[in-house]
Chains A and B, each alone.
Chain A
């Protein structure tokens, strides 16, 4: 077991609803290796998104540790965790989550505003990322001028523009038609094989999961 980039160690998570504890994840442990493409499957409500959020550092476990690239992110305070995310994690959401008032270029540039890159350097990175996702000719389009598949590709460009350690994707094809979904999966696969990106992807689409090298199943908060 060499090169574990992510170690989820005995993680449990519950949410509180009106002073009622709702257990979501129960004593989960996973190791993800560098360069791996991990698929997380399971029925709706099984805790896939919650687990992904814990790995990506946008939520904290109730118990257990999450170690990414040697850093126990459960020990970081909010502002350090925010910095850590901006450096190490690229996010792809089911509903793209682009800012409607910004062009494709500006949306992809957004994470770079937190870096010390010059304007010219930012431009280079943004154009490169948009080229990788095949949207080099749409850089000044606004999200509403793009198809769902194209929007998701802009979102992927935004996720890779900072060259993060890890890409997390939460049902990236969940809102797309079959053909667009296929294209997105091919793109993610290429990012994994060609660009050596470690990817953790939540999906309940078996066709999408096919592209992943390893698939874990989650059911009622437990790995099966």
Chain B
């Protein structure tokens, strides 16, 4: 018999109690893992956004349009390599719940500026050629079973009317973080119809996207662009795509802070759960520890027996929790509309935090029991009655 066997047998002494403790730990670690994953995904979305692309939007808010005439002026700013533009189209595909990004874009430049969207040259050429065609991301193609040649019908809301687009391309993502849930079609197509039906809105551009040659010049180039339009009726605000994303998400910052806080509160709760179990066990075993000492076992043996049991339970709980995190995160990823997060995965940091927390909890939960067992004198321990 080894001391490890004793630790194991001790842990299984009250099977229901141990089972409940391990389950409690697993659920807490699961909650911790899911929260951390969501937080990580937000941060990932920000960091994945490049800084060699500038977003030029209306000064007050991106819900107000800019004139098409800005295009040639932005193109002329030194350091700007290529300019594209887009409008938020929205619309409804069959049902309001079918949410994915739908935009009217400049077909000529969009895929050059967004070089992380991978599309075959043939498909791109076909898309550019056909006025009422569209390209969809691989995620929504998979989700809705879209194939090349299919027609997607949208009911317009921002742009009223019935719209039909034929799929001419499906793009893939270059990186894991690439947003592969967009549907894009010709800005000119939408604009032409606006010209006929709502002439007041013809020539409206939602925002410009300027790809720059040297990302270290992002700040001066942004200033230069904004300077051009300062005194026009259509002033702009230019910032890197990362800054743009960050500002977009910053509205959620307090939520993220709260989630962060909660995830660590959870750790505290697990500590109390396991601590309680360990204190109960140690109290019940007061006499046994006295017997160990009587037989000549040293303080370090007692530490190993108690700490070992605590760590065993903590690691089993954490291990189970981490294992459960994978399927649960997949389920959440499947339920969340495509495009909410660019992608969903459990980062090594989350795993390390969970494992580290489990070790820490195992350690912390055994401090009081160990202290008690070591401090109790043998004669008092032997006289101890439950």
Contacts and interface: CB of A to CB of B under 8 A. Distances in A.
A79 B378 contact: no
Interface stretch (B99-107, B255-263, B287-295): B287-295
Interface in B196-214: none
Nearest to A103: B1
Interface core residue of A59, A82, A84 (most chain B CB under 10 Å):
A82
Contacts of B378: 53, 58-59
B251 interface: no
B9 A102 contact: yes
Contact of A58 (B1, B288, B379): B379
A113 B13 CA distance: 21
Contact of A111 (B5, B6, B13, B296): B296
Nearest to B13: A101
A95 B377 CA distance: 18
B6 A97 contact: no
Which of A84, A87, A97 has the most chain B CB within a 10 Å cutoff? A97
Nearest to A82: B296
A114 interface: yes
A59 B377 CA distance: 8
Given A59-B378, A101-B6, A109-B1, A91 B294 contact: yes
Interface in B1-31: 1, 3, 5-6, 9-10, 12-13
B367 interface: no
B293 A82 contact: yes
Interface residues of B, number: 21
A66 to B, nearest CB: 14
A200 B6 CA distance: 31
A100 B6 CA distance: 11
A58 B3 CA distance: 23
A99 B294 CA distance: 13
B297 interface: yes
Given A53-B379, A59-B379, A101-B10, A113 B3 contact: yes
Tier of interface size on chain A: 20 to 34
A110 to B, nearest CB: 6
B279 interface: no
A58 B295 CA distance: 10
Contacts of A53: 378-379
B6 A114 contact: no
B1 to A, nearest CB: 5
A110 B301 CA distance: 12
Nearest to B12: A101
A125 to B, nearest CB: 13
A86 interface: yes
B298 interface: yes
Contact of A101 (B9, B293, B294): B9
B46 to A, nearest CB: 53
A106 interface: yes
Given A56-B294, A97-B288, 17 more contacts: A53-B378, A53-B379, A58-B379, A58-B382, A59-B377, A79-B298, A82-B293, A82-B296, A82-B297, A84-B296, A97-B382, A99-B288, A99-B291, A101-B9, A106-B5, A111-B296, A114-B297
24 contacts: A50-B379, A53-B379, A56-B294, A58-B378, A58-B379, A58-B382, A82-B296, A82-B298, A84-B296, A85-B295, A85-B296, A87-B296, A91-B294, A91-B295, A97-B288, A97-B291, A99-B6, A99-B291, A101-B10, A102-B9, A106-B1, A106-B5, A113-B3, A114-B296
Interface of A: 50, 53, 56, 58-59, 79, 82-87, 91, 93, 97, 99-102, 106, 109-111, 113-114
